[in-house]
């Protein structure tokens, strides 16, 4: 995975060292991102995008499909996007190498 870029969307108080990443840049519309990655508003304010480039040491991670989630009330978030899961027990993302910028819908 050396050289592979990974992306993560967080809110201002989000955990920059979270376990869930994506190989794709966030889409230009917040609603599309929330649906594909099944992220309810209550979980994430989605104001900042993190970008990380995997270094020479590689990265221990799993790639899979996002499961659907219920949002508040009767709303349903489909999921089905591809996610990269980096377990906290093997976390090797060097936060010094993470780049931050506003999400596409906040620019």
Residue 32 CB neighbours (<10 A)? 13
- Banded pLDDT at 97 (limits 50, 70, 90): confident
> HSE (CB half, 13 Å, CA atoms) of 54?
18
pTM exceeds 0.75 for this model: yes
Tell me what pLDDT residue 40 has.
92
Contact between residue 77 and residue 34 where contact means Cβ atoms under 8 Å apart: yes
pLDDT tens digits for range 15-61? 888 999 999 999 999 999 999 999 998 899 999 999 999 988 888 99
- Banded pLDDT at 70 (limits 50, 70, 90): confident
């Amino acid at each position: 995975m050396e050289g592979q870029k990974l992306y993560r969307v967080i809110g201002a108080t989000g955990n920059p060292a979270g376990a869930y990443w994506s190989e794709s840049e966030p889409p230009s519309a917040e609603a599309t991102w929330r649906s594909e990655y099944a992220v309810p508003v209550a979980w994430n304010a989605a104001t900042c995008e993190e970008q990380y480039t995997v270094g020479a040491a590689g990265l221990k991670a799993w790639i899979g499909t996002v499961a659907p989630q219920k949002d508040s009330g009767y709303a349903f978030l489909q999921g089905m996007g591809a996610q990269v899961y980096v377990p906290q027990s093997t976390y090797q993302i060097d936060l010094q190498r993470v780049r931050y910028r506003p999400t596409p819908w906040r620019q």
